[in-house]
Structure 1
Amino acid sequence: MPEHFHLNTPLLESTSMSKLVGTSVYLKMESSQPSGSFKIRGIGHLCQQVARQSKGVVCSSGGNAGMAAAYVARKMGLPATIVIPSSSPPLVVQRLQDQGATVKIAGKVWDDANAEALRLTETEGLTYVPPFDHPLLWEGHASVITEVAACLGPSVKPGAVLVSVGGGGLLCGVVQGLKQVGWADVPIVAMETVGADCFNAALKAGKVVTLDDITSEAKCLGAKTVCRKAFEYSQSSDVTIISELVTDQQAFHAVQTFLDEERVLVEMACGAALAAIYSGVIRRLQDEGRLPAPLGPLLVIVCGGSSINMEQLTNLRHKLYT
């Protein structure tokens, strides 16, 4: 049994992005995880704790949590059932099946798929693997920051961390990781797309709210309700979280630019965090006095994503620009 299932991913410096913001930009390349995204950190950690004696695991997912659960289950020799919404591309179904998972399609959005996964937990006696709302997931995701701290060494501290928010699991892990390494005062810029903005909506309402629908094409950010812990962190005085939105077009533009400049293809969900740099959000936050100028090095969590290929990219371009 491996100690953990995730890799210590590369930390790369991007010269082109650094030039845009006038400070060093470090990319934590979670896109190179074996399951294609950061999700394997938390899901691997959770499965090791709760699934060893299991009959099998069930996970509801727009794609990436499912990929991580399927990969980990295969490595642990457990059957995996992944329940995905009908909005997931065929590519996701194929990749999950390639990992040996049984795929079930239920409902239109993640919340529908999740209801079915919980039903299977009851009826089939499977171990439920939540995609974002569990303390063991956050504990696993925190390792992304401890690796960065070990890599940068004690003399370098980020000026801010840029992260995409879907259900809020990665955000919770980043907060915990920053606290663990003594960087609790480093601000987090939490990026979402308009139409998949459950975290931003909660901050505006002053409480956790549920979106009526997911209208963004960044389907992997598509939770209608953010996890309560992420909202609690946003309200606490010892953490600075700045919530920002970009359009689907800005996230897509970021994906394309990142592919051109860094030669890595990521999902639009990941494009939301990249758009903080490419669409000038960081510059604006500095102008508004919400981030310091000059700014220390920026750390971007390149969360990755397995639901993207060139065909998907072409389809998205067509949807967003015609």
Structure 2
Amino acid sequence: MVPRSQKGMMEHPMTLSLADIFAARNAISGIAVRTPLVPSPAMTEVAGAPFLMKLETTQPVGAFKLRGAVNAVSRLPEGTKGVACCSTGNHGRGVAYAAHAKGIRAVVCMSQLVPQAKVDGIRALGADVRIVGRSQDDAHAESIRLCESEGLIEISPFDDPHVVAGQGTIGLEILEDCPELAMLLVPLSGGGLAGGVALAAKAINPAIRVIGITMDRGAAMHASLKAGHPVEVEEVASLADSLGGGIGLQNRLTFDLCRRHLDDVILVTEEEIYRGMQSIYFDERMVAEGASAVGHAALLAGKLPKASGPIATILTGRNVDMAAFTKVVTGEDVPLGDVTVKGQRHAA
């Protein structure tokens, strides 16, 4: 892969290979952990096939984003003054953690839509936080400005081959633990996770069905795939806030990866995400973000195609706004900007 330039921008290659993902696994070993793949008896009963959960919630920063961040930071040129990034929360945590481990400065730019709990968590890891505008695009513009004015190097949350390769290590682990997997459900946002995991999974087993799942409002990658090119969407508040943000009109990597390797994209409503979060809490006894719950949400809503064998989903993170989470698990209404998700009790 092509190294970063001293100006802080990345010259992206046109392709990413399985070899890059194996190299990333070596680079992140000892900082990001190999997470467990565990069965869900409750969802197995619903699916009529073995249903497995990849617990990225057990990473040191509580989310999968640590993998890509560590791999990207490990590739920085000697003498790097610091890094900057834009984030909806979890990427910022990963970059802050990885930068602290390397002893360099990290600046994380976020929009006003990011929950305060995620902002506080990033500050606690020693990063400088900048709150800019009301969109990921606004935060990204500030990240670029910092790189140009202060000599920092940008680490994209998704459109960076080192980041994508790091996220792709999840696919390696899942297929090693369950070689007979028939369907893999991947939360879909900017495509760093979905593109990397799908590339790894398809390279190992071309017959596996990889499905991206995202919210039905403000889903940039889905809209872009439908249009045939990257497009902008209006960002809105969501229970799956980690899936918010655009993919960049100049996207050079993840749009193509998702277009080539995802078999389908499924949209879930806020009400369905709400039920998915409840299911993970009550049936799995776990705390997880709304983005982690989209696989459960799609299954419970009857939106998944029939699988010929085991199904796996990725629980991407646990860094949820606990005030909103408490409303969900107690069956209360949850206001999300101009809409309110009506409360509903979990059916035992």
Instruction: Give the TM-score of the pair, scaled to structure 1.
Output: 0.89
Pick the aligned partner of 1:80 from 106, 111, 121: 106
The residue identity in structure 2 corresponding to 1:231 is F
- Whether the 8 Å contact between 1:162 and 1:188 is mirrored in structure 2 is yes
Pick the aligned partner of 1:136 from 162, 166, 179: 162
1:157-236 matched pairs, under 5 angstroms: 157-180=180-203, 182-225=204-247, 227-236=251-260
1:295-314 matched pairs, under 5 angstroms: 295-306=308-319, 308-314=320-326
For 2:280 and 2:233, the matched residues in 1 are separated by 29
For 1:59 and 1:240, the matched residues in 2 are separated by 26
Query: C-alpha displacement at 1:302, in angstroms?
Result: 1.2
**SS at 1:45's partner residue?**
helix
For 1:207 and 1:29, the matched residues in 2 are separated by 32
- Whether the 8 Å contact between 2:49 and 2:310 is mirrored in structure 1 is yes
1:209-257: CA deviation from partner (whole Å, max 9, x where unpaired): 1113335342211122364534323443xx4521110101111210111
- Whether the 8 Å contact between 1:51 and 1:127 is mirrored in structure 2 is no
Tell me, yes or no, if structure 1 residue 119 matches structure 2 residue 150: no
- Whether the 8 Å contact between 2:195 and 2:258 is mirrored in structure 1 is no
- Whether the 8 Å contact between 1:15 and 1:25 is mirrored in structure 2 is yes
For 1:17 and 1:133, the matched residues in 2 are separated by 33
Gaps of 5+ in 1: 287-291
For 2:287 and 2:40, the matched residues in 1 are separated by 15
The residue identity in structure 1 corresponding to 2:199 is Q
For 1:29 and 1:51, the matched residues in 2 are separated by 32
- Whether the 8 Å contact between 1:62 and 1:84 is mirrored in structure 2 is yes
Give percent identity, aligned residues only: 29
Aligned residue number for residue 289 of structure 1: none
The residue identity in structure 1 corresponding to 2:225 is L
**SS at 1:264's partner residue?**
coil
Pick the aligned partner of 1:26 from 45, 48, 52: 52
- Whether the 8 Å contact between 2:158 and 2:254 is mirrored in structure 1 is no
Pick the aligned partner of 1:318 from 306, 315, 334: 334
Instruction: Tell me: CA distance 1:113–1:255, structure 2 relative to 1, closer, same or farther (3 Å).
Output: same
- Whether the 8 Å contact between 1:214 and 1:224 is mirrored in structure 2 is no
Gaps of 5+ in 2: 1-26, 336-340, 344-348
- Whether the 8 Å contact between 1:164 and 1:269 is mirrored in structure 2 is yes
- Whether the 8 Å contact between 1:58 and 1:126 is mirrored in structure 2 is yes
- Whether the 8 Å contact between 1:169 and 1:230 is mirrored in structure 2 is yes
Instruction: Tell me: CA distance 1:212–1:91, structure 2 relative to 1, closer, same or farther (3 Å).
Output: closer
Q: Please tell me the root mean square deviation across aligned C-alpha atoms, in Å.
A: 2.0
The residue identity in structure 2 corresponding to 1:37 is A
**SS at 1:6's partner residue?**
coil
For 1:27 and 1:6, the matched residues in 2 are separated by 18
Query: C-alpha displacement at 1:314, in angstroms?
Result: 3.7
Instruction: Give the TM-score of the pair, scaled to structure 2.
Output: 0.82
1:41-93: CA deviation from partner (whole Å, max 9, x where unpaired): 11110110026531111111110000000111111111211111111122112
1:139-169: CA deviation from partner (whole Å, max 9, x where unpaired): 11111111122223xxx42111001111110
The residue identity in structure 2 corresponding to 1:296 is G
**SS at 2:181's partner residue?**
coil
Tell me, yes or no, if structure 1 residue 255 matches structure 2 residue 273: no
Alignment: residue pair count: 306
Instruction: Tell me: CA distance 1:229–1:184, structure 2 relative to 1, closer, same or farther (3 Å).
Output: farther
- Whether the 8 Å contact between 1:138 and 1:176 is mirrored in structure 2 is no
- Whether the 8 Å contact between 1:62 and 1:222 is mirrored in structure 2 is yes
1:190-224: CA deviation from partner (whole Å, max 9, x where unpaired): 10101131122123222221113335342211122
- Whether the 8 Å contact between 2:53 and 2:312 is mirrored in structure 1 is yes
For 1:95 and 1:23, the matched residues in 2 are separated by 37
- Whether the 8 Å contact between 1:265 and 1:309 is mirrored in structure 2 is no
**SS at 1:26's partner residue?**
strand
- Whether the 8 Å contact between 1:185 and 1:240 is mirrored in structure 2 is no
